[in-house]
Amino acid sequence: MRSKNIILLKTLWQSTSQFNILRHSKDKSKRGKVIGNLVGMAVLYIMLMAFCIATCIGYGEMGIISEAPVLCALTISVLALILTFFKTNGYLFNFKEYDMLMALPFEAKTVAACKFLYMYLKSLPWYLCISVAMLVGYAVYEKPAVLVYPIWIVLALILPIIPMLAAAFIGFLIAKVSSGFKKKNIVQSLLLIAITMVAIFSRFFIESMFRNGKVEEVLTNYSALTDRVSGYYPPAKWFANAVNNASWLDFLLLVGVSAILFELIFIAVGRSYRKLNSSFKSHAAGRKYRMGAQRQRGVLNAIAFKEFKRMTGSSTYMVNTIIGDIILLIGGIIVLFINVDDLIKTITYDSPLTKEMICPAIPLIAYFMSGMVATTACTPSLEGKNYWILQSLPITKKDIYRGKMLFNMYLEVPFTVFGIICFSISARASFISTVLYLIFGLALCMFSTAWGCVCGVKHIKLEWENEVEVVKQGTALTLYLLPNMFVTMILIGLIVFLGTKMSGDLVVTILTVIALALALLSYMRVMKLAEKNRY
Amino acid sequence: MGNNAMLEIKGYTKKYSEDKKAADNVCLTVESGDIYGFIGHNGAGKSTTIRAVVGVLDFDEGEILIDGHSVKTEPLECKKITAYIPDNPDLYENLTGIQYLNFIADIFGIDSAEREERIKKYADMLEITDALGDMIASYSHGMKQKVAIISALIDEPKLLVLDEPFVGLDPKAAFTLKQIMHEMCEKGTAVFFSTHVLDVAEKLCNKVAIIKQGKIIASGTMQELTGGQSLEEVFLEVV
């Protein structure tokens, strides 16, 4: 029985493994793409490891390297929780090969557990990068006993399991609640977004509790911080104790609790697994349509509408796409009712920044949220098996991509405009400045749309088993998202700095011109790619 | 029946590698008003040829012309007059049937009144009108096939290309589809379809081509090919 589970896990792994393509595909361009993807991932892993080692060096230089294990445990746990929370729906429920797997002689619990372990294995390189890099940093400064190394590595492999189980269980509960509704995907998306919002705002609340009550203690006594955090999350404490004090009890606690929770959760999930998936797989058919007048749309709007329906039809895709927009929407409303200077102080840890200094960065702040994910980076790949439809229609690749870009603009622009207007009102920006911010915001949306499309078309991947591979892990999205996020953050800092040296409006105008030029270049690149890839 | 070439395949070759050819020097001509059957074993190269004809698959050598337009150099002109129904219609599952049909009609620029009339006509014939408001995800294979058929007919194409069109259709719908194919031929449309069902090909087609391991091994009018034998007997003899 055990070997059967391993076969299932191995097959799940092989079905999406890049190495499998590399080994068996005879298509040179496909193999080239796989190698490119692997190199890209390796670069990201190296960047992550460098960041972790740099953090450890900082801790080491400050003489608090003993806190590194807790930091390592918390980083891995938070990452595992977030990654799993947004992936559970696509991996555990409502996946394509459900019928095929459930028709085989496997218990429902086994299928669910194997899917979970598959999800764990897929994310493992990220966790290992963090743990190995931090172990290196820790070893350099702490020079621990030899035994610490295997303990650290083994426990680092176990660490993600508890947060992943927690996230999977929340995902399971959300799936259970939403399965009772007719519009399951919409309900599921709303619940996921609501929980994310609660998590984001709780973070600020908890942070403010720390800062208001124990600022001195936190800043001067790192042990207090460790105890406080460990108090909230015991597995981090068990990991730290096992590593720092070579405590076998804590080692066994972490391993044991992870194993027991795994068994318990999959007994619970297994009981409703078939029912839940049946509910997601079956769709109510009313059969009561009466033919009436039909509405004609232009070609681009027809494609944009199709894209809209694609988005609302998948909770994974929808949550991933609109989470930034929703944060911006809520943030925009909130800033209308609170003192912006207080907000700036809270977010920037009591820095001397004022709303006047922040003002020129308003469009970038709004864009940071609304432009976080561009649908254009995912939609070319999301066509998947449906690609034949567009390929066989009398429509150019250019128009297909224009339609996809139009949808992203429809989605991104209203939220960006709303956010900029709210922030400008709240920061008492002048009318002229607000207009400039709006133009800059629109230029950023254009850039995000076109650049997303470049990434989406250049790294199109039509053969996927699960849309999570495109929406969460796709090369196209990663290449869009990470540089976009970091560059925006850097630009926010730069624009605030430049705004103190020269007119803020002038800085915004210069950046608008640059954004428009980049948008135009990206658009031209998309059109070039459309000409090149006829099929 | 036939009077002018609607589909000409000249020396079409599709290679998967230097020594593996999915289609090797395929030549055939489908004229207006023809119902042309394309038969062969699984993996013989039928779908590969069909996918190249409709502009979904690139190919290495040869030329494919639709109403005189090259699939390689004038793909849009070709697609404007061609309709394709694949063997496994993977449609947009998040759209309702009517939304999908409107999407196709929008791409072809068909006005509201005309699309309403055509959708109604074919949806009634295929008995799927009442399900058009439901999500495609809720459809059976046969229902998806029916929606794909309506979407192919919505623009009244000059060339209708079908890959195993009768698989998954109920007997009544299969009969209706044959009726539609005949109707379209009478209007001058050329129909080119692949099938495994030799009885259907024999009764429906006026021309047939048999493909084996990527090569056409027999082709011509039904009369020329069978010469009094059944198509099944001829097929088993040559393959």
A390 pLDDT more than 50? yes
Yes or no: say if B17 and B34 are a contact pair by the CB < 8 Å rule: no
Q: What is the mean pLDDT of chain A?
A: 87
Contact A260, A73 (CB under 8 A): no
pLDDT at A37 (0 to 100): 80
* Residues A114-149: tens digit of each pLDDT: 999 999 998 999 999 999 999 999 999 988 889 999
Contact A288 B123 (CB under 8 A): no
Instruction: Quote the pLDDT of residue A218.
Output: 45
Range A153-160 average pLDDT: 93
Would an 8 Å CB–CB cutoff place B48 in contact with chain A? no
A480 backbone φψ class: left, alpha, beta (φ>0; ψ -120 to 50)? alpha
Please indicate if any CB of chain A lies within 8 Å of the CB of B228: no
Task: Please tell me the least confidently modeled range out of A382-391, A440-449, A495-504, B141-150.
Answer: A495-504
Instruction: Dig out the tokens for A218 from the structure.
Output: 């936190």
- Say whether residue B19 is in contact with chain A using an 8 A CB cutoff: no
Pick the more confident residue, B178 or A231: B178
A282 reaches B (C-beta below 8 A): yes
Q: Is the pLDDT of residue A337 over 60?
A: yes
Nearest to A229 by CA among A104, A72, A54, A82: A72
> Residue A203: its pLDDT value, please?
62
Chain A residues lying within 8 Å of B103, measured CB to CB: 302, 305-306
Residue B126: predicted pLDDT:
95
| B82-85, strands of its sheet edge to edge | B82-85, B159-163, B190-195, B35-40, B207-212, B215-221
Instruction: Give the per-residue pLDDT at B1.
Output: 45
As a whole number, mean pLDDT of residues A14-34 equals 78
Average pLDDT for residues B90-117, to the nearest whole number? 94
pLDDT band at A205 (very low <50, low <70, confident <90, very high): low
Give the model's pLDDT for residue A214: 46
A30 has a pLDDT exceeding 60: yes
Which of B91, B98, B103 is nearest residue A302 as measured by Cβ atoms?
A: B103
A389–B92: do the CB atoms touch at under 8 Å?
Answer: yes
- Which of A388, A390, A404 to mutate to probe the B interface, most B CBs <10 Å? A388
pLDDT band of residue B2 (cuts 50, 70, 90) is very low
Lowest mean pLDDT among A89-93, A269-273, B194-198: A89-93
User: Residue B82: its pLDDT value, please?
Assistant: 96
Q: Name the one residue in this structure whose structure tokens are 């390297």.
A: A65
Query: What predicted TM-score, i.e. pTM, was given to this entire model?
Result: 0.82
Comparing A322-326, A345-349, A431-435, B64-68, which segment has the lowest mean pLDDT? A345-349
- Report how far residue A143's alpha carbon sits from residue A243's, in angstroms, rounded to the nearest whole number: 12
The residue among A308, A389, A391, A533 with the most chain B CBs within 10 A of its CB, best to mutate, is: A389
Residues 298-317 of A with CB under 8 A from B: 298-299, 301-302, 305-306, 309-310, 312-314
ipTM exceeds 0.90, yes or no: no
Confidence of residue B141 (pLDDT cuts 50, 70, 90): very high
pLDDT at residue A375, as a whole number: 97
Beta-carbon separation of B115 and A292 below 8 A: no
Nearest residue of chain A to residue B54 (CA atoms): A392
Whether the per-residue pLDDT at A486 is higher than 80: the answer is yes
- A393 in contact with B, Cβ within 8 Å: yes
Provide, rounded to the nearest whole percent, the portion of chain A with pLDDT above 90: 46
Cβ distance B41 to B212 under 8 Å? yes
Question: Residues A254-297: pLDDT tens digits?
Answer: 999 999 999 999 998 888 888 888 777 777 677 889 998 999 99
Minimal CA separation from B168 to chain A, in Å: 19
**DSSP designation for B16:** S
Judged against a pLDDT cut of 50, whether residue B123 lies above it is answered with: yes
Residue A343 to residues A197, A401, A463, A493, Cα–Cα distance (Å): 17, 40, 46, 17
Contact A399, B76 (CB under 8 A): no
Which residue has better confidence, A198 or A256? A256
Average pLDDT score over residue span A221-225: 55
Comparing A101-115, A203-217, A304-318, the range with the smallest average pLDDT is A203-217
CB B105 within 8 A of CB B136: no
Instruction: Determine contact: B130 vs chain A, CB below 8 A.
Output: yes
- Per the CB < 8 A criterion, the answer to whether A436 and A508 are in contact is yes
Q: At A136, which amino acid appears?
A: V
pLDDT at A221 over 60: no
Rounded mean pLDDT, B3-13 = 91
Checking if the pLDDT of A219 tops 60, the result is no
Q: Which of A3-7, A439-443, B53-57, B75-79 has the lowest mean pLDDT?
A: A3-7
Q: What phi, psi does A332 have (nearest 5°)?
A: -60, -40
pLDDT of residue A534: 58
Has residue A216 got a pLDDT over 50?
A: no
Average pLDDT over every residue of A209-235: 58
Helical (H) or strand (E) element with A329 = helix A315-337
Looking at the predicted structure, is the pLDDT value of residue A90 above 90?
no
Contact criterion met (CB < 8 Å) for A296 and B106 = yes
pLDDT at position A230 is 64
